[in-house]
Amino acid sequence: MNYCYAFALLLGLAACSNPAREAPAGTYYDLKAYIEQQINQLQKQQPTVVKQAGFGVEKEQTTTKTIDWSRELDLFLQADINKQAYQSSYRKNRPDSLTYEYTLKTGESIPVQVLRIELDSTTRQPRRVRATLRTKNSLYESERTVWLEADQGAIKHYHIEGFQQLAWLEPKRFLIDGRVGGN
C-alpha cells in the first residue's frame, strides 16, 4: 500500500472532528502557536529527514527533503486543547515550573486524552511534547500517540503511532517516525 495514501487517509479520518473556537489566551499552553511556528521554519529550511513509515505490518524507511510539514505535523495541531469548548475539560498539573500536564476529566468526550509539554530551562521553548488522542463511536475507533523532541525550540525527532479501526474490520496499526537533520 502506498504510505502517502495511507497517511492521507489517516489524516482525513482524524480531521473529522468538529472545529471549536479557541479558548482565551492563557487557559492552556499554546501548543498550536509553537507547532505553526515550527511548520513555517521547516517549510523554509527543507531539512533532510530520515523517515520511517508503516501501515499494518509493512514498514519503509526513506531519506527526504520534500515533506509537506502542515500534513506531517497535523496531529500535533490536533493535540492543541486551547478551544473555548474545552476550558473546563482538563485537570491541570504543574509537577515543576517547566512542565505542563493536562488530563481529560472523567465524563468528557474530547479526542485529546492527555497532553504533556516539557520546556527547556534556557529557551522556555518545548523540548518534549507528548499527547494521546482517542476517538470512538459506533462505526469507528482510533488512538494516536504523538511525541516530539526539540533542541533550542527546533523539532529534531517526531513520532506518531496508533491504530484505526472500522467496526467491522480488524484494527490497522500505523507508525511515522522522523529524525530531522538525518540524526
pTM of structure = 0.82
Most confident of 7-16, 17-26, 38-47: 38-47
Distances (CA, A) of 81 to 25, 36, 42, 116: 12, 14, 23, 11
User: For position 172, what pLDDT does the model report?
Assistant: 93
User: For position 2, what pLDDT does the model report?
Assistant: 47
Torsion, Cα of 166, 169, 171, 173 (10° steps): -90
Find the distance separating the first CA and the last CA of the chain, reported in whole Å. 27
Residue 156, pLDDT above cutoff 60: yes
- Per-chain mean pLDDT for the chain: 87
Count the Cβ atoms, other than its own, within 10 Å of residue 98.
Answer: 14
pLDDT tens-digit map of 99-119? 999 999 999 999 999 999 999
User: How sure is the predictor about 183, in pLDDT bands with cuts at 50, 70 and 90?
Assistant: low
What is Dmax (Cα atoms) for the chain?
Answer: 50
Q: Is the dihedral of CA 23, 118, 126, 12 positive or negative?
A: negative
DSSP for 23-54?
PPTTSS--HHHHHHHHHHHHHHH---EEEEEE
User: For position 103, what pLDDT does the model report?
Assistant: 97
